[in-house]
Amino acid sequence: VFYAFGGLLEAGRIGSATNNLGFMYELDAIAACVVGGVSFSGGVGTVFGVVTGVIIFTVINYGLTYIGVNPYWQYIIKGGIIIFAVALDSLKYARKK
């Protein structure tokens, strides 16, 4: 149900619908959750943290677009943010053990 609702909102925003409309949105979703404090090892994360991560990552997205960064470089930067956040989470998890 939420996928359909999201698809309708996105199609309305763009003004049309294509089969690859949401391509690479999963990268943004994963990055926003990780930046918000959700742990890949499980059991850690809050709704407030995820919302904060979404806001931070949206600001990063719009900022990169605003300053004219090539979309391919934006994917590389987003991937780097994910790698950094996962490495930080892994270090935190290793210290806890």
Determine, yes or no, domain membership for 12: no
Determine, yes or no, domain membership for 68: yes
- How far CA 22 is from CA of 37, 39, 80, in Å, comes to 24, 24, 21
Range of the domain at 72: 23-96
The answer to whether 11 and 21 are in contact (CB under 8 A) is yes
pLDDT of 46-79, one tens digit each?
899 889 988 988 898 899 999 999 989 988 998 8
Determine, yes or no, domain membership for 6: no
Determine, yes or no, domain membership for 83: yes
User: What pTM value is reported for the model?
Assistant: 0.69
Q: What is the tally of structural domains in the chain?
A: 1
Please state, in angstroms and rounded to a whole number, the distance separating the CA atoms of residues 31 and 77.
Answer: 11
